[in-house]
Amino acid sequence: MSADHEPAGGERERPIRCLVAKVGLDGHDRGAHVISRAFRDAGFEVIYSGLHRAPEDIVQAAVQEDVDVVGLSILSGAHNTLIPKVIEGLAEYDALSDTLVVVGGIVPDDDAKQLKEAGVAEVFGPGTPMEETIQFIRENVADRK
Amino acid sequence: MTEGATPDLVVDLLGGDMRALARTITRIENRSGDYRDLVSALYPHTGSASVVGITGSPGAGKSTLVDELVAHYRENDETVGVIAVDPSSPYTGGAVLGDRIRMGSAVGDHGVFVRSMSARGHLGGLSTATVDAVKAFDAFGMDRVVIETVGAGQNEVDVVRTADTVVVLVQPGSGDDVQMLKAGILEIGDVFVVNKADLDGAERTAADLEEMLELRGSEERTRVGHHGAVEVGSVADDGETEDESDAWSPPVLQTVATTGDGIAGLATTLDGHRAHLERTGERESRARTRAAAEVRTLLRQDTADLVETELRRRGGIDEVAARVAERETDPYTVADELLGPLRDYLAEVND
């Protein structure tokens, strides 16, 4: 049986599942598209949310799809209000502990610090090499069965 | 999570916990850990959901149609589970599962659960995973389950076949699409829908489809009943009229999924098909056919795994292959050596 040679909680056979989400009113999704493709080419399963999602939509999608990673793309400057809502929502579902939340977009350093304190694993600013983001996710994604 | 937590997951799922449902589907999809125990525990709670499979070529409007259908069901206070299957890259295994984008009606509604699945390259395994995921939705208490998939190959055909009712979606002016339908999908459709019916050529496409279905109908009447199930009351010789009244002739509908036109009609037709299945006893016979296929698939997989393990114990296929190539032994002897003990054991047990 194939399940027999899968070490408990160890080496993952499943691809990393990632929700790439556009939160709030900003309509710039080129970055989200590019990152989705890069993730796909890295072997991830990417679920793309589409534009203008409310935080609760993203939480619902993340929980239903049981993703390992939530990648939030935000360029509108509203990150301080929207992202904590996503974090809280995930926590409500008890899903925060094994979901890696990363943010991509234009976020000032001070805000990035705050977001990290709130539970965001990393904030990737403009010009971050794709490989760096992918590597970070591979290294930090939670081990779960 | 430990092994002991397994029953909890099922208890939580049956209790209506969305995350437990999500987790269960993940394990089913990964074929990981104790998924067999999970499915076994869920099985007694299944059998009530009405399952519809929707297939069609890329861009035909499947996701949009599913979204509208879900909205329609929700208006009637029915809960819906959606499984959206997308192909994955054969090179990296990665996939962009984009069907969720077009499923806006599900947002913020806990009566809808949308799950995206990628084909993940496991040949045939996808349909096994999908069947089990449907069971999870069913046990969770979803009134309806909709499976959406690109009608591209055998794999996908197998997937929609797990549904009670199969809807094939076509877009207008797609002469090629209709050609493609000949190649297999035509046979599995219970209901045909020409979507984007506001576009030019919709009537023509619908007419083409009807013509082809007519052809299929007359071919089928000369053979056994619909889908291999023997129709009740059909007599081999003069069964023509009996067959006619009892057989389901797939209707061709027209919809505009973006505006919702024709969706209510589609829902009615789907219910009509289900009623037909129940009336003729075909629902039951289809369920049995599916169960048989499921059991066979499992047996095949398990046996293959068993043999694979035994093969590894003997140094792996490369080692064995080398010996065969060197003429030290031959393929038949190898197979006999491997399976001989099993055959002997079974013979002994059965005596």
With an 8 Å Cβ cutoff, are B30 and A14 in contact?
yes
Interface of A with B in 125-144 (CB under 8 A): 144
Model pLDDT, residue B229: 44
Helix B6-14 vs helix B18-30: angle between axes, to the nearest 10 degrees? 130
What HEC string does B218-281 produce?
HHHHHCCCHHHCCCCCCCCCCCHHHHHHHCCCCCEEECECCCCECHHHHHHHHHHHHHHHHHHC
Model pLDDT, residue B242: 43
Does residue A37 form part of some domain?
yes
Neighboring chain B residues of A36 at a CB cutoff of 8 Å: 96
A53-66: average pLDDT: 91
A99 pLDDT band (50/70/90 cuts)?
Answer: very high
Does residue A125 form part of some domain?
yes
pLDDT over 80 at A89, yes or no: yes
pLDDT over 80 at A14, yes or no: no
Model pLDDT, residue B178: 61
Distance, C-alpha B58 to centroid of its chain: 18
Does residue A145 form part of some domain?
no
pLDDT over 70 at A87, yes or no: yes
For chain B, which residues lie within 8 Å of any Cβ of chain A, measuring from their own Cβ?
A: 1, 18-19, 22-23, 25-27, 29-33, 35-36, 88-89, 92-98, 100-102, 107-108, 113-116, 118, 120, 302, 305, 309
B257 shares a domain with B177: yes
Model pLDDT, residue B301: 85
Model pLDDT, residue B186: 76
Q: Write the ipTM.
A: 0.84
- From the list B89, B98, B113, the residue facing A48 with the nearest CB is B98
With an 8 Å Cβ cutoff, are B25 and A66 in contact?
yes
Does residue B194 form part of some domain?
yes
DSSP class of A53: B
A31 pLDDT band (50/70/90 cuts)?
Answer: confident
User: Are the C-beta atoms of residues B63 and B84 closer than 8 Å to each other?
Assistant: yes
Model pLDDT, residue B21: 95
How far does B16 lie from chain A, in Å, by closest CA?
Answer: 13
How far does B85 lie from chain A, in Å, by closest CA?
Answer: 12
With an 8 Å Cβ cutoff, are A42 and B94 in contact?
yes
B67 shares a domain with B31: no
How far does A109 lie from chain B, in Å, by closest CA?
Answer: 31
pLDDT > 90 fraction of chain B, expressed in percent and rounded: 38
pLDDT over 70 at B169, yes or no: yes
Say which CATH number the domain at A101 has.
3.40.50.280
Residue B233 vs residue B22, higher pLDDT: B22
Does residue A7 form part of some domain?
no
B181 shares a domain with B96: yes
User: Are the C-beta atoms of residues B28 and B133 closer than 8 Å to each other?
Assistant: yes
- From the list A14, A43, A49, the residue facing B100 with the nearest CB is A49
pLDDT over 70 at A1, yes or no: no
B35 pLDDT band (50/70/90 cuts)?
Answer: confident
DSSP class of B102: G
Residue B227 vs residue B32, higher pLDDT: B32
B219-230: average pLDDT: 53
A91 pLDDT band (50/70/90 cuts)?
Answer: very high
Neighboring chain B residues of A130 at a CB cutoff of 8 Å: none
User: Are the C-beta atoms of residues B96 and B86 closer than 8 Å to each other?
Assistant: yes
> Which residues have CB under 8 Å from B325's CB, separation 6+?
none
Sign of the C-alpha dihedral computed for residues B57, B61, B67 and B69 taken in this order? negative
B70 shares a domain with B19: no
pLDDT over 80 at B180, yes or no: no
pLDDT > 90 fraction of chain A, expressed in percent and rounded: 58
Three-class DSSP category at A43: coil
Domain count, chain A: 1
pLDDT > 70 fraction of chain B, expressed in percent and rounded: 79
Looking up tokens 């003069």 gives B238
List the alpha helices (DSSP H) in A2-129.
30-41, 55-65, 79-92, 109-118
List the alpha helices (DSSP H) in chain B.
6-14, 18-30, 35-42, 62-75, 125-140, 154-160, 175-182, 185-188, 202-222, 240-246, 263-280, 282-313, 316-325, 331-350
Model pLDDT, residue B151: 66
Model pLDDT, residue A123: 94
Instruction: Tell me phi and psi for residue B205, to 5 degrees.
Output: -60, -40
Q: How far apart are CA B164 and CA B131, in angstroms?
A: 12
User: Are the C-beta atoms of residues B234 and B207 closer than 8 Å to each other?
Assistant: no
* Mean of the per-residue pLDDT values of chain B: 82
Closest CA to B46 of B157, B145, B129, B115: B145
Distance, C-alpha B232 to centroid of its chain: 25
pLDDT over 70 at A10, yes or no: no
Residue B108 lies in domain:
46-279
pLDDT digits (tens, 9 = 90+) for B131-161: 899 999 999 999 999 999 876 566 667 777 7
Does residue B13 form part of some domain?
yes
Strand partners, B145: B51, B81
Model pLDDT, residue A4: 36
B242 shares a domain with B143: yes
Locate A130 and state its tokens.
Answer: 């794709």
B16-34: average pLDDT: 88
B213 pLDDT band (50/70/90 cuts)?
Answer: confident
With an 8 Å Cβ cutoff, are B108 and A60 in contact?
yes
Final residue in a domain of this structure, among B227, B249, B279? B279
CB pairs under 8 A between A and B: 103
Model pLDDT, residue B5: 45
Locate B230 and state its tokens.
Answer: 């023997």
Question: Is A99 at the interface with chain B, CB within 8 A?
Answer: no
B256-265: average pLDDT: 90
How far does A37 lie from chain B, in Å, by closest CA?
Answer: 7
- From the list A45, A53, A145, the residue facing B95 with the nearest CB is A45
pLDDT digits (tens, 9 = 90+) for B295-327: 998 899 889 889 999 899 888 899 999 999 999
B75-88: average pLDDT: 88
Mutate to test the interface with A, among B12, B25, B26, B28 (most CBs of A within 10 A): B26
With an 8 Å Cβ cutoff, are A40 and B94 in contact?
yes
Domain count, chain B: 3
Does residue B290 form part of some domain?
no
B207 shares a domain with B158: yes
Residue A50 lies in domain:
14-140
Q: Find the radius of gyration of the CA atoms of chain A.
A: 15
Say which CATH number the domain at B263 has.
3.40.50.300
Model pLDDT, residue B232: 44
B6 shares a domain with B96: no
B51 shares a domain with B38: no
B66 shares a domain with B24: no
Instruction: Tell me phi and psi for residue B15, to 5 degrees.
Output: -80, 0
Does residue A3 form part of some domain?
no
Does residue B85 form part of some domain?
yes
Final residue in a domain of this structure, among B232, B251, B279? B279
pLDDT over 60 at B239, yes or no: no
Model pLDDT, residue A110: 92
